[in-house]
Amino acid sequence: MVAKILVLNGPNLNLLGTREPDVYGHETLAGIEAATRKRAKGLGLTVEFRQTNTEGELVDWVQQAKGDADLLLVNAGAYTHTSVALLDALKASDLPVIEVHLSNIHQREEFRHHSYVSKAALGMICGFGGFGYEMAIEAAAGILKNKA
């Protein structure tokens, strides 16, 4: 059976390519998704990729992932720094979680240094742009191999 990774993207990530390119670069979310899918396929994994600007929908997706996905890869955007609801859902999912961010959140504004997602994540990859998603897929492959 092929392991499934659910990739969840939070608010404003749909604006990649045009939003603050000095911070987030010129990659689009569609481009990141294509590269992520290619890397996952090469490792024998499947990927489901989603984006929402709504906190409740993100929480719903995490809750629905239990029993459907093998691992969550999460870029919660601004909800990273604000959402206890997302943290609670991630912890309740009992799924391995990898946190990813395009920018290095620790080099940015002070409020971005705190991550609720990190409290549920096995690890975080940040600061490598869209390539961070590919790095996270590589990490996921190792985690799932060791889990099996």
Contacts of 114 (CB under 8 A, 6+ apart): 81
- Report the relative pairing of strands 71-75 and 97-101 from DSSP bridges: parallel
Q: Hey, which bits of the chain come out as E strands?
A: 4-9, 46-51, 71-75, 97-101, 123-126
Q: What amino acid positions are annotated as catalytic residues?
A: 24, 101
Helix or strand or coil: residue 25? coil
Instruction: Fill in the amino acid letter for 9.
Output: N
* Sign of CA pseudo-dihedral 20, 113, 101, 120: negative
